[in-house]
Amino acid sequence: MFRIWADASAISLVAAGILGAFIAPTTGPALAMGMAILMGHTEPVMPELPFPWLFWGATIGAVVVCKILADRSENPARKRGWRVAELVSAVACVVIPLVQVWRLVRLAVGP
């Protein structure tokens, strides 16, 4: 049961991370300016910040490696451990675009 739940959760988290990784660089600056205006700042600055593709790619790679190691492991405890590591990597894959948008909002608000 945990295997099915872990695989489904990891797949949905990675899909959300992929979507977020393409939304954050393209619409993130405009979204950050809009959020800065909604927070009461009348003159926000257009933020520019490169997306951390290397870290995001490392989380995708970690998901794939943990999935392979979980499927190849014979020991049930190790199998469960690799599945947990896979889920943690998938959560990191989603968190990186959210942190990027938060950083853009902080830049738009200014000092």
30-72: pLDDT as tens digits:
888 888 888 888 787 888 888 899 999 999 999 999 989 988 8
Share of the chain above pLDDT 90, in %: 29
Which residues, 6+ apart, have CB-to-CB distance to 28 below 8 Å? 47, 100, 101, 104
The mean pLDDT of 98-103, rounded to a whole number, is 91
Cα angle vertex 29, ends 26, 31, to 5°?
A: 95
CB 82 within 8 Å of CB 73: yes
Roughly what angle, to the nearest 10 degrees, separates helices 2-38 and 53-72? 170
Query: 69 is in which domain, residue-wise?
Result: 2-109
**CB 86 within 8 Å of CB 5:** no
Q: Looking at the 3D structure of the chain, how many domains does it have?
A: 1
pLDDT (0 to 100) of residue 1: 61
